[in-house]
Amino acid sequence: MRIVVLAGGLSPEREVSLTSGSLIANALMGRGHEVALVDVYEGISGELTWRRAGDALYSAAVNEAVPDLAAVKAACGGREALIGPGVLDACHAADVVFIALHGAMGENGQLQATLDNFDIRRYTGTGYIGSLLAMDKDLTKRMLTLANIPNAPWILFDAAHDDIARVQREIGLPCVVKPCSCGSSVGVSIVETEEALTEALAFARQYEPLVLIEKKIVGREFSIGILDGEALPAIEIIPKSGFYDYKNKYQGGCTTEICPAPLTEDEVSRLAAAAKAVFAALRLESYARIDFILDAQGTFWCLEANTLPGMTPTSLMPQEAAAVGISYPELCDRIARLAYAKGERV
């Protein structure tokens, strides 16, 4: 197949996306596909180039700090359009569009809706409705609550109308503060004191005005992937310091990850069932990764769902796939083929 891998974009998770996209593209080339890696924001200058096995490999890296998006924008002449020149034409020319974006329009449904509107149906992952429901953390929690899936008590905080007294009154401390619609733990803080709460709100609002504040659930952290309707083995995440923030996620050696996770048979069964319930409640498709906390009383609390999880070979979902004998190239190939089959059903 000819596959366009869309990555980059104008999101705080830009570097994560470019890294995932490069490795996905290389893996697909190794499986015999013709591949073009396209930065969805920068677009294409000149003719689209397809690479095959034996051609030069793509490469990218994630730095410790969130990328300077103003500089990226300036390099493109300050262009406001989020989809660069030639991108949609490239998608039309492909048999499958592999979406390797993280955050912003790649995960909030905007890109998926755009592709649908241009009759580009064979793209990977979830459609625009499920993408929106999973990306907006307030909507996620409303849907989980309606489905009786445990999740932490929360409020949606708007600094234009709310004050800290509301947080103390309705949630209390400790709590977790996060932008409503960012991924990769961008802008997230765990707050123990009122002074830290003020700083955390200011930090989160650097990324968007609406902030989700939820009660901190103490326990062990797990992530579990769903691939084509089946749960993969869960992985336990143990940061060596602090919590599973942007640095601990993407800088090597900062986190211990155990897969399959050390859980009892009953816990494995309950976690898989909870993940499938979240997948269904949020109308997710093809593949996704769901994050949970297991508290001391044995309850799995859902943290969030990731419709476009990190896809480097050492990312969580590829590790889970590897635990059942699915290699990284095979995983990328299976996701692409699920997208092709989805397009045939439309």
CB atoms inside a 10 Å sphere around CB 188: 21
Active site annotation includes 306: yes
**Contact call for residues 195 and 218 (beta carbons, < 8 A):** no
Angle ∠(157,160,164) on CA atoms, nearest 5: 50
Angle at 61 between CA 210 and CA 65, to 5 degrees: 40
233 Cα distance to chain centroid? 18
Distance CA 306, CA 67 (A): 21
Annotated active-site residue 333? The verdict is no
Q: Which of 14, 31, 122, 289 is catalytic?
A: 289
Q: Catalytic residue among 304, 315, 320, 333, which?
A: 304
- Determine which one of 15, 291, 320, 333 is catalytic: 291
Pick the catalytic residue from 8, 9, 11, 13. Answer: 13
Residue in 20, 184, 248, 315 annotated catalytic? 184
Is residue 291 annotated as a catalytic residue, yes or no?
Answer: yes
**Length of the chain as a residue count:** 346
- What DSSP assignment string belongs to 175-239? EEEEETT--TTTT-EEE-SHHHHHHHHHHHTTT-SEEEEEEPPPSEEEEEEEETTEEPPPEEEEE
Residues 6+ apart with CB under 8 A from 253: 240
Buried b (16+ CB within 10 A) or exposed e, 117-147: eeebbbbbbbbbebbbbbbbbebbbebbeee
Give the span between the Cα atoms of 81 and 64, in whole angstroms. Answer: 27
Q: Is 89 a catalytic residue?
A: no
Active site residue 252: no
DSSP helix, strand, coil percent of the chain (3-state; round to 5): 35, 20, 45
Q: Are 35 and 79 in contact (CB under 8 A)?
A: no
The upper half-sphere exposure of residue 300, i.e. CA atoms within 13 Å in the direction of its Cβ, equals: 25
Q: Tell me if residue 225 is catalytic.
A: no
The one catalytic residue among 181, 189, 306, 315:
306
- Contacts of residue 94, Cβ cutoff 8 Å, sequence gap at least 6: 1, 2, 3, 4, 36, 122
Which position among 8, 109, 310, 320 bears the catalytic label? 310
- Could you list the active site residues? 13, 184, 250, 289, 291, 304, 306, 310
